Amino acid sequence: MKVLVIGGGAREHALCRSLSLDPDVTALHCAPGNAGIAEVAQLHAVDAMDGAAVARLATELEARLVVVGPEAPLVAGVADAVRDAGIACFGPSAEAARLEGSKAFAKDVMAAASVPTGRSYVCTTPEEIDKALDAFGAPFVVKDDGLAAGKGVVVTDDIAAAREHALACGRVVIEEFLDGPEVSLFAVTDGRTVLPLRPAQDFKRALDGDEGPNTGGMGAYSPLPWADPKLVDEVMETVLQPTVDELRRRGTPFAGLLYAGLAITGRGVRVIEFNARFGDPETQVVLARLRTPLAGVLLAAAEGRLADQPSLAWRDDAAVTVVVASHNYPGTPRTGDPIEGLADVVAQDAPHAYVLHAGTRLADDGSTVLSAGGRVLSVTATGKDLGQARERAYAAVDRIRLDGSQHRTDIAREAAEV
Ligand code: AMP
Ligand code: GLY
């Protein structure tokens, strides 16, 4: 089948890599892509946010399946435009993607479906904000209602900073602080049947030891040796299936990837957030472990046939990914620097370690790879356990040279010692 992937980050590179290894995929296209994706897919300079243009491209390419990677096009209705053109699309409708696009909507769905989450208030006035901050006390959790590219959530002990962020948001969700390790659990769903993937953990802070500002994610690993083996079953029963059932009941079924961001608190599992798409960088490690060819699973979800899909098969391997970011990320990053050593990773570390590109582009010479964003590369490795996957990932990171770049050195370190 011919497949078109929309997006151009490391998540889309991971998706394209898995799809390129799937014998059922006869042609792979990506828009807009990046310098790494160009090695496995044909790139098209189409704006991911333009539903009509994406649908036109999919029609021209005679794509059997379109996979929409990022949240912004989903919330903007790009999957609807593709389906309206008669092409199967993996990714929820704009209505269903509100689960990620509006934190207040997500809270409403969770309340209706009795899904465990932090207590919260939706506030629009300074009076409501002060009342909510007083009710919970420190640490304060303040979330912009809308999409904010990872910048909408402030967790702070400083009430002045909490109030300032809340006032800047307009509509804001103020929430109880949830204490405990975080887990990301993804599920593929056709709106009725839910197929969970393997849990992963990401590292949101910029610096070692979970210091520094929040980022889009600096690394991830899977499996989670410290987690309760019953976690996936529990989250299926208390979170994923009830949420999918509630959205179907409302007449806006959610078909695509449902991402549950969870806190494992002393009082049990709580949902921190939902996303309506694969998470980045967790996708890099989850897909590294998936044995079942990906295209058939995504197509079955897009076509409402997931109930007929055999259960997913997994490798025993562990996987670790380390993000290499530009100088000054998550502030305005420095871009346009040459990246060296990529060929050394291919020569010395493949197939156990490989580089997935995030913000990269080819220079005009057609061969030099340049940095083009905050998160530049996601260096991914597999191994018999997390320790070996970690060693391989960091060995590959050490071969890469990008002036001023930064990465965390403690991805999966504690988990590897469990
Ligand atoms: P989000 O942008 O919703 O992924 O939130 C970013 C990060 O803020 C999460 O990964 C958590 O680390 C933190 N966070 C969000 N909500 C809470 C909460 N209620 N309690 C504690 N930390 C939170
Ligand atoms: N890993 C966090 C996210 O994708 O939102």
- 155-172 per-position pLDDT tens digit: 999 999 999 999 988 889
DSSP string, 266-305: TTEEEEEEEESS--TTHHHHHHHHB-S-HHHHHHHHHTT-
**Residue 315: band (very low, low, confident or very high) from pLDDT cuts 50, 70, 90:** very high
- Answer yes or no: is 130 within a domain: yes
Task: Report how far ligand 2's centroid is from the alpha carbon of 241 (Å).
Answer: 21
- Do residues 327 and 407 share a domain? yes
For 271, phi then psi, to 5°, come to -80, 125
Res. 153: pLDDT tops 90: no
- How far apart CA 268 and CA 283 sit, in angstroms, is 25
Task: Report how far ligand 1's centroid is from the alpha carbon of 78 (Å).
Answer: 27
- Answer yes or no: is 258 within a domain: no
- Do residues 326 and 412 share a domain? yes
What are the E-state strand segments in 58-181? 65-68, 88-90, 120-123, 140-144, 153-156, 172-175
Res. 94: pLDDT tops 80: yes
Closest ligand relative to 11 C-alpha: 2
Q: Which domain holds residue 156?
A: 119-175
- Answer yes or no: is 307 within a domain: no
User: What is the residue with the minimal CA distance to atom 7 of ligand 1?
Assistant: 153
Which of 99, 153, 157, 201 most suits a substitution to test ligand 1, by most atoms within 8 Å of the C-beta?
Answer: 153
What is the pLDDT, as a whole number, of residue 146? 79
Which of 155, 173, 264, 275 most suits a substitution to test ligand 1, by most atoms within 8 Å of the C-beta?
Answer: 155
Instruction: Enter the DSSP assignment of 326.
Output: -
Res. 189: pLDDT tops 70: yes
Per the model's pLDDT, the better-predicted residue between 227 and 148 turns out to be 227
Task: Report how far ligand 2's centroid is from the alpha carbon of 9 (Å).
Answer: 12
Q: Position of tokens 């109880």?
A: 176
- Do residues 126 and 81 share a domain? no
Which residues make beta-bridge pairs with 318?
383
Last residue of a domain, which of 90, 110, 135?
90
- Answer yes or no: is 403 within a domain: yes
- How far apart CA 289 and CA 281 sit, in angstroms, is 14
Span 269-276, average pLDDT: 97
Res. 191: pLDDT tops 90: yes
Span 355-378, average pLDDT: 96
- Answer yes or no: is 343 within a domain: yes
Span 92-109, average pLDDT: 95
Atom of ligand 1 nearest to the CA of 150: 2
Q: Which residues, judged by CB distance below 6 Å to any ligand atom, belong to the binding site of ligand 2?
A: 202, 217, 275, 279-280, 282
**Residue 150: band (very low, low, confident or very high) from pLDDT cuts 50, 70, 90:** low
User: What is the residue with the minimal CA distance to atom 4 of ligand 2?
Assistant: 279
- 278-299 per-position pLDDT tens digit: 999 999 999 999 999 999 999 9
Task: Report how far ligand 1's centroid is from the alpha carbon of 384 (Å).
Answer: 31
Atom of ligand 2 nearest to the CA of 150: 5
- pLDDT mean across residues, the chain: 96
Q: Say how many domains are in the chain.
A: 3
- Do residues 393 and 352 share a domain? yes
Task: Report how far ligand 1's centroid is from the alpha carbon of 149 (Å).
Answer: 13
- How far apart CA 282 and CA 356 sit, in angstroms, is 12
Last residue of a domain, which of 75, 90, 105?
90
- Answer yes or no: is 114 within a domain: no
- Do residues 71 and 134 share a domain? no
* Helix (H) and strand (E) counts in the chain: 15, 24
Which of 75, 184, 186 most suits a substitution to test ligand 2, by most atoms within 8 Å of the C-beta?
Answer: 184
Question: Which H helix or E strand runs over 362?
Answer: strand 360-362
**Residue 151: band (very low, low, confident or very high) from pLDDT cuts 50, 70, 90:** low
Res. 350: pLDDT tops 70: yes
- The CATH code of the domain that includes 163 is 3.30.1490.20
- Do residues 80 and 137 share a domain? no
- Do residues 130 and 67 share a domain? no
Closest ligand relative to 182 C-alpha: 1
Helical spans, DSSP H, in 61-102: 71-75, 78-84, 98-101
- 4-53 per-position pLDDT tens digit: 999 999 999 999 999 999 999 999 999 999 999 999 999 999 999 999 99
- The CATH code of the domain that includes 384 is 3.90.600.10
Task: Report how far ligand 1's centroid is from the alpha carbon of 261 (Å).
Answer: 9
Closest ligand relative to 148 C-alpha: 1
| pTM, rounded to two decimals | 0.95
Atom of ligand 1 nearest to the CA of 176: 19
User: What is the residue with the minimal CA distance to atom 5 of ligand 1?
Assistant: 153
Last residue of a domain, which of 50, 72, 90?
90
Closest ligand relative to 71 C-alpha: 2
- Do residues 73 and 127 share a domain? no
What is the pLDDT, as a whole number, of residue 169? 87
- Answer yes or no: is 124 within a domain: yes
- How far apart CA 138 and CA 158 sit, in angstroms, is 8
- Do residues 16 and 84 share a domain? yes
* % of the chain with per-residue pLDDT over 90: 93
DSSP string, 10-57: HHHHHHHHHHHT-TT-SEEEEEE--TTGGGTSEE----TT-HHHHHHH
- The CATH code of the domain that includes 10 is 3.40.50.20
Res. 108: pLDDT tops 80: yes
User: What is the residue with the minimal CA distance to atom 10 of ligand 1?
Assistant: 204
Closest ligand relative to 155 C-alpha: 1
Res. 152: pLDDT tops 90: no
- Answer yes or no: is 45 within a domain: yes
Q: Which residues, judged by CB distance below 6 Å to any ligand atom, belong to the binding site of ligand 1?
A: 118, 141, 150, 153, 155, 175, 177-178, 182, 204, 214, 261, 272-273
Task: Report how far ligand 2's centroid is from the alpha carbon of 203 (Å).
Answer: 10
- 321-336 per-position pLDDT tens digit: 999 999 999 999 999 9
For residue 380, is it left (φ>0), alpha (ψ between -120 and 50) or beta? beta
Span 251-263, average pLDDT: 98
- Do residues 66 and 10 share a domain? yes
**Contact by Cβ (8 Å): 318, 221:** yes
- Do residues 65 and 153 share a domain? no
